Amino acid sequence: MEILVIGAGCPSCDQVYTDTLAAAEELGLDAHIRKVEDLVEMVQMGIMTVPALVVDGRVLAAGPGLNKAKIKKLLRP
Amino acid sequence: MKKTKLFVLTGFLGAGKTTFLLRMLENYAGKKVGVIQNDLGKVNIDGPRIEKDGLELREISQGSIYCSCRKLDFVKALAELAQRELDYVLVESSGIGDPSNMEEILRAVEVLQPGIYEFAGLICLVDGANFLEDRDKREEVGRQVRHAHAVLLNKVDLLTPQDQAALMAALRALNPVCPIYPCAYGEVDLAFLEEDLRKYQYVGWEESLNSSETKPKTLVLYPAGTVQGGELEAFLRKLAPLCWRIKGFVPLDTGWAQVDVVGKYIDRKPCPPQPQGELVIISRTGPAIIRPIMDAWKECVSTEMKLKN
């Protein structure tokens, strides 16, 4: 499983990355988690709102309001 | 296909960016023009000043367009305007805007809308009366000059020849390459806009200093009714040293006034009636300014007011 946390480097995006790491660990997921902060890479992926959560190429969420509980729900197998 | 020429204006709070933008718009009358205006606060005071029929205006508020929190909105606005077959797009950055990462933004726009824009350069407005002090207090001010392709040294009417020479030396120390045009009220021969300004690029691109941590505190004051001119003046005098900038519109006993405060300069001029009175206050002291605003208003002004974030 590849999880991408897309954010431009602001504190709220950083928080989503931290929450995603915690959520994956609590769920016991075997996942490779990467933070994407590069603007060009973001738009190449079609992301126009951050923070966004992308799992195996699928955008699961984009925009404010993501927290650990919501991320866990989205990542639960 | 004819490309859209993209100019980006930078310059610290109160340097005269909007005035120069209005001059550029006058110069491009009859052309198809898009404008992106960026403001730090929730309220964009300058939007209505430039709005007119046929102008494509996009406003990005509550943060710098170069900051991680807003740069994607900037890319989106540029990509959107790229579809309008415009002759020119003019961007007015916010006063603390550090455009060091402009290239990253242009590369992202190029992914979405390839081949539309011809980036014509960063034009930096410098407030001749306050530059040296601003430069020492906010690092963004130096960055704006270093990254500029042309500098307009504005407000020279307020300077002695010695002051102007000292300023030229300070600007040259920051950017020895780009042309510097001394002027007042942004009145400069606009022929330079036709030049290839990109050849004056002095430094390479870098991370912008703009972030949510470095953003100055912005508040909006709404007077509950008509204010006496003298009372407003007294309030502004008290508050000015604590602010980078105060701007907006106030209903006075003598009619509506447009208010502009930059450093110790307080400017008040009549203006058409506005939907509501509002003053945007950009603090030098962070949220600590709230108490002094409340106290100064209570002391100087007999009308009630509301202060909002």
| Full set of structural domains in chain B with CATH | 4-200 (3.40.50.300), 218-308 (3.30.1220.10)
Q: Give CA–CA dist A32/A14, Å, rounded.
A: 17
Residue appearing with tokens 């102008």: B55
CB contact under 8 A, B108 and A40: yes
Nearest to A29 by CA among A5, A53, A11, A2: A2
Q: Which stretches of chain B sit within 8 Å of chain A by CB?
A: 67-69, 71-72, 75-76, 104-105, 107-108, 111-112, 211-213
Task: Classify residue B45 by its DSSP letter.
Answer: S
Amino acid, single-letter form, for residue B126: V
Beta bridge partners of A26: none
> Pick from A10, A42, A43: which is nearest to B212 by CB?
A10
* Residue B59: per-residue pLDDT: 93
* CB-based contact B106:B61 (threshold 8 Å): no
* Residue B297: per-residue pLDDT: 97
Residues of A in contact with B213 (CB under 8 A): 11
* Residue A8: per-residue pLDDT: 78
Q: Give CA–CA dist A55/A1, Å, rounded.
A: 7
CB contact under 8 A, B108 and A42: yes
Assigned token pair, A8: 């431009």
> Pick from B68, B76, B111: which is nearest to A8 by CB?
B68
* Residue A67: per-residue pLDDT: 93
> Pick from A9, A43, A49: which is nearest to B68 by CB?
A9
Amino acid, single-letter form, for residue B229: G
Residue appearing with tokens 């022929």: B191
Inter-helix orientation angle B229-239/B290-300, to 10°: 150
Pairing assessment for the beta strands A2-6 and A32-36 based on DSSP bridges: parallel
Q: Give CA–CA dist B223/B220, Å, rounded.
A: 10
Q: Give CA–CA dist B257/B271, Å, rounded.
A: 5
Residues of B in contact with A7 (CB under 8 A): 68
Nearest to A75 by CA among A65, A57, A62, A60: A60
Q: Give CA–CA dist B116/B82, Å, rounded.
A: 6
Amino acid, single-letter form, for residue A8: A
* CB-based contact B45:B66 (threshold 8 Å): no
pLDDT in tens, B55-96: 899 999 888 999 988 999 999 999 999 999 999 999 999 999
* Residue B273: per-residue pLDDT: 93
* Residue B2: per-residue pLDDT: 87
Assigned token pair, B278: 């509002």
> Pick from B69, B111, B213: which is nearest to A43 by CB?
B111
- Name the E strands within B48-191: 56-60, 88-92, 117-127, 150-154, 180-182
Nearest to B253 by CA among B236, B268, B265: B268
CB contact under 8 A, A10 and B67: yes
**Shortest distance, CA B207 to any CA of chain A (angstroms):** 11
Residues of A in contact with B68 (CB under 8 A): 7-10, 13, 37
**Closest chain A residue to B68, measured at CA:** A8
Q: Domain containing A44 — which CATH number?
A: 3.40.30.10
Amino acid, single-letter form, for residue B57: L
* Residue B87: per-residue pLDDT: 97
pLDDT in tens, B138-165: 999 999 999 999 999 999 999 999 999 9
Angle (nearest 5°) at CA B138 between B137 and B142: 115
Residue B96 CA, chain-centre distance (Å), reads 8
Tell me what percent of the residues of chain B surpass a pLDDT of 90. 88
Positions of chain A with pLDDT lower than 50, given as ranges:
none
CB contact under 8 A, A39 and B107: yes
The residue range of the domain holding A12 is 2-75
Q: Give CA–CA dist B181/B176, Å, rounded.
A: 13
* CB-based contact B248:B45 (threshold 8 Å): yes
Question: For each successive 10 residues of chain B (309 residues), what is the average pLDDT?
Answer: 95 94 94 93 69 84 90 96 97 97 97 98 97 94 98 97 97 98 97 97 95 90 96 96 94 96 91 94 94 97 95
Q: What pTM, to 2 d.p., does this model score?
A: 0.88
Residues of B in contact with A52 (CB under 8 A): none
Task: Classify residue B212 by its DSSP letter.
Answer: T
Integer angstrom CA distances of residue B104 from A8, A72, B36, B252:
12, 33, 18, 46
Q: Give CA–CA dist B39/B208, Å, rounded.
A: 17
> Based on the structure, what is the number of domains in chain A?
1
